[in-house]
Structure 1
């Protein structure tokens, strides 16, 4: 049977183990062995230099439309994710059975990792994230990457990454020629809801190759990134 690789990227200051509750929310037996990629401790600018888990520098929080971004930091982090995807594909996984999911900062890294990857992947799910670069980079997206579907989930009461920042992503994806689906969750703040996870689960299952639908293998690589 073909296998499927699902990579979950946590948010700023969070950790892989702290997100493991998600596996109890996925109801399908296919998602029972889920674990999560974790970023080692590093310095984050938005936290006044405090040491916390961070994929890239975030100059300002709460994040809103027009907030400053550090594109070079984001693109460097995406290269590390690409190395993990490359390894999985080299081991035999079909690129279209590779899914990247992420919350908040991890969601923004998900978007960058998917749109700059040279192959079409199964999909990218962004939860409460933001677009971490300007529209000037659209010309750099590989044509195959633009075929990867994006699911964007955002709570209307998010006070850390404002709902308007999530909505702006739809315009960005349309301009880039990327298929995007936007799901709003009334009353939800900067967190994950069971309803949100249930939809992500069904969204992934609908996109799995038929050959892998009865044998889903979820992988996790912890402490893969190294600072310095």
Structure 2
């Protein structure tokens, strides 16, 4: 997973040069985790959808997963945050819990680095699509602090309920936004819906948004809602910690 760190330290963070935020409010940090076989740079255009003045100074990071053999693709090496035993993913599909827990450590290192640089935890937002969404969920629920939020797009729950007792109490306070297309053929809609009872059991607040007709991808409508969700969370967090 070393490449993930190199991407970060080489400043693959896309940020505005403006400094319009007041001293009492640090700009949000948005970490975007791509899906299986994709790359960080290929997703950088996502930030162009986020046009709100409140997010003008947002710091973005689009890291790339390292090359790894992937079981569901007959062991073929491709950019992958962790191993995926089978696709399409449905309720009850096999998972590799140890593999994702290793990936979580690297995401936590990125978050720790950003917080050390002065970003408040409540202004840290983790977003991910598909495999990146699964990693987002795991990273947020296992982080020792309450973050601004975790956004899962067409993802899945990457571990069993036996791990719930490992979730820090502060992590359970981080809100989750889950977006899923009803026509998703790769991570089935039912697999996304299965997150709701899991998160309820864990005591985690989750807003679930279904997108009729959307397959395994994301729409501008979806991204625009994510923008408003992050913006409202950022405002709430900054006002409560000023």
Counterpart in the other structure of 1:221: none
* Residue in 1 that maps onto 2:79: 53
Q: Distance in 1 between matches of 2:215 and 2:147?
A: 29
Post-superposition Cα deviations, 1:33-90, rounded to whole Å, max 9, x if no partner, equal 7451111222211111111100000000000000000000011100100011011111
**What is the CA–CA distance in structure 1 between the aligned matches of 2:96 and 2:152, rounded to whole Å?**
19
TM-score, length basis structure 1: 0.89
**RCO higher in 1 or 2 (8 Å CA, sep ≥ 6)?**
1
Equivalence for 1:191: 217
8 Å contact 2:183–2:216 — kept in the other structure?
yes
1:27 shift after superposition: 2.5
Structure 2 counterparts to residues 12-31 of structure 1, below 5 A: 12-29=36-53, 30-31=55-56
Matched, 1:3 2:27: yes
CA distance in 1, matches of 2:88, 2:99: 19
CA distance in 1, matches of 2:67, 2:61: 19
- Contact 2:85–2:96 (CA under 8 A) maintained in structure 1: yes
Match among 182, 207, 210 for residue 233 of structure 2? 207
CA distance in structure 1 between the partners assigned to 2:192 and 2:228 by the alignment: 21
Q: 2:127 aligns with which of 101, 106, 129?
A: 101
What is the root-mean-square deviation in Å for CA atoms of aligned residues? 1.6
Paired with 1:211 and 1:187, the residues of 2 have a C-alpha distance of 34
Q: 1:176 aligns with which of 202, 210, 218?
A: 202
Match for 1:129 among 113, 130, 155? Answer: 155
- Measured in 2, the distance between the counterparts of 1:210 and 1:82 equals 23
| Count of paired positions | 213
TM-score by length of 2: 0.84
Alpha-carbon deviation of 1:3? 2.6
Q: Which residue of 1 aligns with 2:18?
A: none
Residues 30 and 59 in structure 2, CA contact (< 8 A), matched pair in contact too: no
What residue ranges of structure 2 are gaps of 5+ in the alignment? 1-22
